[in-house]
Structure 1
Amino acid sequence: MRGLWLVLALLPSVGAAQQVNDYPTLARADYIFGCMAVNGQGPDSMARCACSVDVIASILPYEDYVKAETVLSLRLAGGERGAMFRGMSVATADVAELRRAQAEAEITCF
């Protein structure tokens, strides 16, 4: 019986687990595939990329991640459309937070 209590004590709280796991599987897989395209296709790369998305998810709520990724992708558009998003100061905080989370993931996992 004491062993069961030890196991339960070591499990993360439901709130912490929910926070880390609020990224849909598809979003995590998309991140891992993109990361592996840049860092290599081997099992070591996959483990590091999975670690990376886990670190980002522990820092940045999924809703903020989506906002920042959307702004970054729209900034890549050419012409006036892209310029409009490159000049947006409103989304700068979201992008900065994503960059900070990515830097933390880089230090932790790579």
Structure 2
Amino acid sequence: MIRRLVERSGIAAISVALLAGLALPAGAAADLENDYPTEARADYVFGCMAANGQTRESLQRCSCSLDALASILPYDKYVQASTILSMRQGVGQRANEFKSTKVFDDKIADLKRAQAEAEIRCFRG
């Protein structure tokens, strides 16, 4: 809608950008940033739907869950925690190193808190 108004009125792009920035509440611009790549988003939603059913409602809830997760946990922290979880499933000394390190426990705890918040927002609301 804003685009149509801009095209019709001939307002310069810089003016529109300034107006859009002023219209957003503090912190809302950060919400517009999307540091989760599309492939990671699709992978998350497919996995979520596999666990929760292949329905339209499941698609909506899983998409919501990912959006909530992304708003809480930056993508690089998500990747770190996911990698640690994957490495912990292994066997041997390397897997044990990932299982017994406090720093890794903290990264996984951050992911689990974000996932719990996302579940509350999208699956129980």
Per the shorter chain, which TM-score range? 0.7 to 0.9
Equivalences, count: 105
Superposition RMSD on alpha carbons, in Å? 2.3
Partner of 1:28: 41
Q: With CA pairs under 8 Å and 6+ residues apart, which has the higher RCO, 1 or 2?
A: 1
Q: Pick from 3, 9, 17: which aligns with 2:32? A: 17
Q: Deviations over 1:46-76 (max 9, x none)?
A: 1100000100000000010000000011111
Map 1:1-80 onto structure 2 (within 5 A). Answer: 8=20, 9=23, 13-18=28-33, 21-80=34-93
User: TM-score by structure 1 length?
Assistant: 0.84
**Deviation at 1:94?**
1.1
Give the match's secondary structure for 2:35: coil
Instruction: Output the amino acid matched with 2:29.
Output: V
Aligned-partner Cα distance in 2 for 1:13–1:38: 32
Residues in 1 aligned to 2:121 and 2:30: alpha-carbon distance in whole angstroms: 23
Unmatched segments (≥5 aa) in structure 2: 7-15
CA deviation string 1:5-43 (max 9, x = no partner):
9x943688433311xx11000000000011111100111
- How far apart in 2 are the matches of 1:108 and 1:13? 18
User: Which residue number in structure 2 is paired with residue 108 of structure 1?
Assistant: 121
- SS for the counterpart of 2:102 is coil
Deviates more, 1:86-95 or 1:32-41: 86-95
Look up the match of 2:12: none
Query: Any unmatched runs of 5+ in structure 1?
Result: none
After TM superposition, the score normalised by the length of structure 2 is 0.75
